[in-house]
Chain A
Amino acid sequence: MLELFPLTFYAISAAMILSALGVILMASPIFSALCLAATMTLLAAMFFMLEAYFVAAIQLTVYAGAVVVLFVIVLMIFDLKKEKQSFSGNWAINIAKIGISVASFLILAVPLGYVLARANPGWLQDRAPVSKDLALSLFGKYLFTFEIVGALLLVVLIGSVTLAKSKGGTHAEHHE
């Protein structure tokens, strides 16, 4: 039982990194979407390990459910032919891009990881927030933000319907 957590953590981490690499390296976009669904599901498992049960459930329904299905439906509408070349630029530019990513990983991870590993973790508290804390915080301290997000979702609903229904806008009329 004592070894269960590290073992699960490293297994989930390895699977998550592999499926995230699958998202960006798969030649076919539909396989990218499937890898994205796998990454989201594994992330939900990680949230379960972190005792954030409600967030894990939302992760499964919103991301692994709704967002990935949205991507898959859009890919189905496009009915893309096989891409001859999935990656932009030549190999030298792509190696430079990989270098930029590795450098930004070092910039992100080294200061945070190093500082937190060395610091005396006096501020760590052994009390996982439960759904009640979450609800009190969401509808108390963050109520105004919550309402703003609701208004934003309404705007997004109207905007995406307008964009998807538009027949190319003013430019299409101009060109035709």
Chain B
Amino acid sequence: MPNIMNSIALNHFIILASILFCIGMLGVLIRKNVVVMLMSIELMLNAVNLIFVAFSRYYGDASGQVIVFFVMAIAAAEAAIGLAIIMAVFRKFRGVEIKLFENLKG
């Protein structure tokens, strides 16, 4: 049976996950729409998950995959709460631009 460890080095996964993380970070920085910013945050969390699973495979330890479960639970929680906050803001200001969140202070 062919082995992934013999054909692909671990740093390939690290570089791929870094690219995904930076794309997600760029999305948070440049977009105006808050929903797309939340999607970019999900992208960043997924990049971290990829690194955890890759290290778990190459290290032969299940702990990395357990952490991935926790990250997934936190990500789902963050998406639910974030979208609920966005819905509350949308109901008040009729829009989802990040500028509208400036009015939330105090």
Contacts and interface: CB of A to CB of B under 8 A. Distances in A.
Interface in B7-55: 7-12, 14-16, 18-27, 29-33, 35-36, 38-40, 42-43, 46, 49-50, 53-54
Contacts of B20: 16-17, 20, 39
B26 to A, nearest CB: 4
Query: What is the predominant secondary structure among interface residues of chain A facing chain B?
Result: helix
A23 B10 contact: no
Majority secondary structure of chain B interface residues (helix, strand, loop or mixed): helix
A97 B29 contact: yes
B101 interface: no
Interface of B: 2-5, 7-12, 14-16, 18-27, 29-33, 35-36, 38-40, 42-43, 46, 49-50, 53-54, 56-63, 65-66, 68-70, 72-77, 79-81, 83-88, 90-92, 96, 98
Contact of A163 (B19, B49, B68, B81): B81
Interface in A25-40: 29, 32-33, 36, 39-40
Interface residues of A, number: 94
B30 A89 contact: yes
Given A49-B4, A133-B62, A40 B46 contact: yes
Contacts of B10: 116, 121, 124
